[in-house]
């Protein structure tokens, strides 16, 4: 009986130790979630306004003078995908859902892949049948500022040289703190939905010097802003997914502790009852 008590006691101690780790990881993920949420909210307004301005300029292009970045690229090669995964694990189905989404769209015969995040690099490196683009060395999950702009310019150069038909980002879209959805965004050719302003009919925007020149100047900034925005959004989803996973782990640990405590108390009570019975029985035998 004492062996059973010691075994249950060790399990309780082990679960408590694990629970301390999951609680600490939940706290860290919560702090990071708030930081990435603030960065995401700050960046979202800028990205939306930049997209609106660029959509207005693209809409005002003259026929026959389209920018090469706004028309379909006639290339023998396929699409260049940029997959944003995580560096760390313990984030539930964050990476697995993204892998399934990408693999349902990827053509192994013609498409190429740029992977951000150690989990994705390990996964697709292990598979070995996904063509990794040489541009991968210019991309990193933690890149900011000039690095993002340099990566955007490298994508534009590859598209201008017709090294791919299109450039698309596969990332995780933030729906709310509990729901995260793998999504796809086409960077090149530029496809921005144009929504005319209410006063655009009688007060159209003035475009100077020309729409084509403005597009050439704004595109690197637009590509960089969209790329950075999806990086932030993906990392926001990663931290949200990890926090939810650790919260569920804490709840499961609490339930297991309650169950083990009940088992321990029952076994302890049974042991005490058995000892009392043995003492009483021994005493009765001695009196006889």
pLDDT digits (tens, 9 = 90+) for 255-281: 999 998 888 888 788 777 877 777 767
Instruction: Measure the CA–CA gap between 228 and 143, rounded to whole angstroms.
Output: 8
CATH number at residue 38: 3.40.1380.10
Dihedral of CA atoms 99, 104, 108, 111 in degrees, nearest 10, equals -90
Has residue 137 got a pLDDT over 60?
A: yes
Structural domain contains residue 273: no
Structural domain contains residue 11: no
What local confidence, expressed as pLDDT, does residue 262 receive?
A: 87
Tokens 């000892």 found at? 275
Instruction: Measure the CA–CA gap between 203 and 266, rounded to whole angstroms.
Output: 82
Domains in the chain, number: 1
Has residue 149 got a pLDDT over 80?
A: yes
Mean pLDDT of all residues in 97-116? 92
Structural domain contains residue 149: yes
Structural domain contains residue 260: no
What local confidence, expressed as pLDDT, does residue 279 receive?
A: 72
What local confidence, expressed as pLDDT, does residue 114 receive?
A: 94
Strand order in the sheet with 80-84: 112-116, 80-84, 167-174, 180-188
Has residue 288 got a pLDDT over 60?
A: no
Q: Residues of 201-223 as b/e, b for ≥16 C-beta within 10 angstroms? A: eeeeeebeeebbebbeebbbebb
**Tens of pLDDT along 218-257?**
888 889 999 999 999 999 999 999 999 999 999 999 999 9
Is 0.75 surpassed by the pTM of this model?
Answer: yes
Which band of pLDDT confidence, cut at 50, 70 and 90, is reported for residue 101? very high
What local confidence, expressed as pLDDT, does residue 172 receive?
A: 94
Structural domain contains residue 21: no
What local confidence, expressed as pLDDT, does residue 219 receive?
A: 86
**Cα angle value 173/177/178 (rounded, 5°):** 90
What local confidence, expressed as pLDDT, does residue 2 receive?
A: 60
Alpha helix segments (H runs only) across the chain:
2-59, 94-103, 118-127, 146-160, 211-287
Instruction: Measure the CA–CA gap between 238 and 241, rounded to whole angstroms.
Output: 5
Structural domain contains residue 201: yes
Structural domain contains residue 259: no
Reduced to 3 states (helix: H, G, I; strand: E, B; else coil), residue 116 is strand
Has residue 287 got a pLDDT over 90?
A: no
Structural domain contains residue 278: no
Domain containing 169: what range? 34-245
Half-sphere exposure of 145 (CA within 13 A, CB side): 1
**Which distant-in-sequence residues (6+ apart) come within 8 Å of 133 by Cβ?**
80, 112, 113, 114
Q: List residues bridging with 84 in a β-sheet.
A: 116
Q: List residues bridging with 183 in a β-sheet.
A: 171
Mean pLDDT of all residues in 31-48? 88
């Amino acid at each position: 009986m004492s062996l059973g008590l010691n075994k249950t006691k060790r399990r309780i101690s082990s679960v408590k130790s694990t629970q301390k780790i999951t609680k600490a990881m939940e706290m860290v993920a919560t702090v990071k979630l708030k930081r990435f949420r603030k960065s995401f909210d700050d960046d979202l307004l800028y990205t939306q306004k930049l997209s609106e301005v660029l959509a207005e300029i693209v809409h005002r292009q003259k026929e026959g003078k389209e920018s090469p970045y706004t028309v379909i690229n006639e290339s023998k090669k396929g699409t260049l995908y940029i997959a944003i995964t995580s560096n760390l694990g313990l984030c539930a189905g964050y990476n697995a859902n993204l892998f399934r989404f990408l693999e349902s769209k990827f053509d192994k015969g013609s498409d190429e892949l740029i992977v951000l995040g150690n989990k994705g690099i390990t996964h697709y490196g292990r598979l070995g049948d996904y063509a990794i683009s040489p541009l991968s060395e210019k991309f990193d999950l933690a890149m900011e500022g000039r690095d993002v702009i340099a990566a955007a310019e490298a994508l534009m150069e590859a598209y201008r040289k017709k090294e791919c038909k299109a450039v698309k980002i596969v990332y995780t879209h933030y729906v709310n703190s509990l729901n995260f959805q793998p999504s796809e965004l086409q960077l090149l050719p530029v496809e921005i939905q144009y929504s005319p302003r209410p006063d655009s009919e009688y007060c159209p925007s003035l475009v100077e010097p020309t729409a084509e020149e403005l597009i050439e100047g704004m595109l690197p900034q637009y590509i960089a802003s969209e790329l950075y925005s999806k990086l932030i959004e993906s990392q926001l989803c990663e931290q949200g997914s990890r926090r939810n996973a650790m919260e569920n782990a804490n709840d499961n640990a609490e339930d297991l502790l309650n169950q083990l405590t009940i088992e321990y108390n029952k076994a302890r009570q049974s042991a005490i009852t058995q000892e009392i019975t043995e003492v009483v029985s021994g005493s009765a035998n001695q009196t006889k």
